[in-house]
Amino acid sequence: MADKIRLGLVGASVRGTWSSRSHLPAVQASSDVELTAVCTTRADSAEAARQAYGARLAFDDYRKMVASPDIDAVAIVVRVPSHYAPTKAALEAGKHVYCEWPLGRTTAEAVELTALAKSQGLVTAIGLQARVNPTVMYMKELLEGGFVGEVLAVHVCLMREGVLTRPSHRTWQRDAELGANTLTIANGHTVDAMRFVAGDFSRLSAVVATQAKQWLDTGTQALLDVTAPDNVLVSGRLASGAVASVHIGAIPFAGSGYRMEIYGRDGTLVAMGEDSPQLSEVFLHGAKGGNTLAPMPVPERFSVAAPGTPAGEAVNVGQMYTLFARSIRDGQSRQPTFDTAVDLHRLVDAIKQASDNGREVIFG
């Protein structure tokens, strides 16, 4: 294998996308990964991306890209409904894969892709970047080290504004069947950070609601009907016995941001930020045997993204690429994998089931 992992990226838009804000800047800064090839759906946009980001190769067909002997690994950074086909093609071509979350539109797609990766002996990464946020990793270490003692209660909240309008290129997300909505994306990332730190649910009840049943398309000024949920409320017990509650909401105005609060017999930990730890920096405060929260700086050892990685959304993606590359080299997974994705897909299914049926779901 070359000195750097040779990456082909599917979904290499030049501007205005998750790829251009996070993946491409992170790979450009990486000392472990080389952006060898880019792929879009058009030859002209692929060539523009190649020139903009310094890739050697450009493709307008992911099937041709994944077949290239110059590629070691593939990143799938496209809309959720399009995750399955290029991920499957890359795995069948023997390439390691980093796919954005969700792994597929459905749990069945995720299970199939995970089994295929295992049968091929390939390394996988799933874009649950909150798990590699330095603050979240430190919070997990503190919890496991007994900072709060026995965990009694956990509360997580993310209130994000922007539920009433969408630009034309994002109105497709109004369809719940396409798999990209508050339940799967904002809730998926946020509840996954909680379960990474504090453990899984053993039982839960839920409300999944569509409060804003129309969006204004700001491009056409048309009102569009919406089936995608915008509020998710989950309550239950964790496997540890702690009581837990989660509220993820897309609301009209002045969202209060993100908090993860963990209360134990011996202390308290609170992480807070403007947005989900998948997307933004979060700050940790703690109290040990008292009622005053104090800032807790995160040790540098948790920051593994390459020096020069741009601040903001690229940081946690850069963390993921560093860990993904190390895993490819030594076979030891340090990053969330497709197995992680399947577990989360099943939890999201359970939340929807609990809401649809009005009944508690018990695991195990």
Please tell me whether residues 156 and 175 are part of one structural domain.
Answer: yes
132-159 pLDDT, tens digit each:
999 999 999 999 999 999 999 999 999 9
State both tokens at 280.
Answer: 């933004």
Looking at residue 177, the DSSP 8-state letter turns out to be G
Please tell me whether residues 199 and 293 are part of one structural domain.
Answer: yes
**How much is the average pLDDT of 323-330?**
96
Please tell me whether residues 65 and 135 are part of one structural domain.
Answer: no
**How much is the average pLDDT of 307-324?**
97
Please tell me whether residues 115 and 169 are part of one structural domain.
Answer: no
Spatial CB neighbours of 52, under 8 Å, sequence gap ≥ 6: 14
User: Residue 352 maps to which CATH number?
Assistant: 3.30.360.10
Mean of the per-residue pLDDT values for the chain?
A: 96
Q: How much is the pLDDT for 98?
A: 98
Cα distance between residue 258 and residue 260, in whole Å: 7
pLDDT of 118 higher than 90: yes
Cα distance between residue 31 and residue 51, in whole Å: 20
- First-to-last CA distance in the chain? 42
Q: How much is the pLDDT for 15?
A: 80
Domain that holds residue 135: 131-302+344-362
Please tell me whether residues 210 and 61 are part of one structural domain.
Answer: no
Q: How much is the pLDDT for 334?
A: 92
Sheet containing 165-166: give its strands across.
Answer: 165-166, 214-217, 222-225
Please tell me whether residues 153 and 108 are part of one structural domain.
Answer: no
pLDDT of 1 higher than 80: no
Domain count, the chain: 2
Q: What three-state secondary structure class fits 27?
A: helix
**Which one-letter amino acid corresponds to residue 152?**
L
User: Residue 68 maps to which CATH number?
Assistant: 3.40.50.720
Lowest mean pLDDT among 12-26, 50-64, 73-87: 12-26
Spatial CB neighbours of 193, under 8 Å, sequence gap ≥ 6: 130, 131, 133, 136, 156, 260, 276, 277, 278
pLDDT of 30 higher than 80: yes
Last residue of a domain, one of 74, 103, 122: 122
Q: At 2, is the pLDDT very low, low, confident or very high (cuts 50, 70, 90)?
A: low
Q: How much is the pLDDT for 305?
A: 97
Last residue of a domain, one of 87, 122, 157: 122
209-234 pLDDT, tens digit each:
999 999 999 999 999 999 999 999 99
Q: Determine what percent of the chain is predicted with pLDDT higher than 70.
A: 99
Last residue of a domain, one of 83, 99, 122: 122
Q: Is the pTM of this model over 0.75?
A: yes
Quick check: is 115 in a domain? yes
Query: Which residues face 98 on adjacent strands?
Result: 75, 125
31-78 pLDDT, tens digit each:
999 999 999 999 999 999 999 999 999 999 999 999 999 999 999 999
CB environment 265-295: b (16+ within 10 A), e (fewer): eebbbbbbbebbbbbbbbebebbeeeeeeee
Please tell me whether residues 70 and 191 are part of one structural domain.
Answer: no
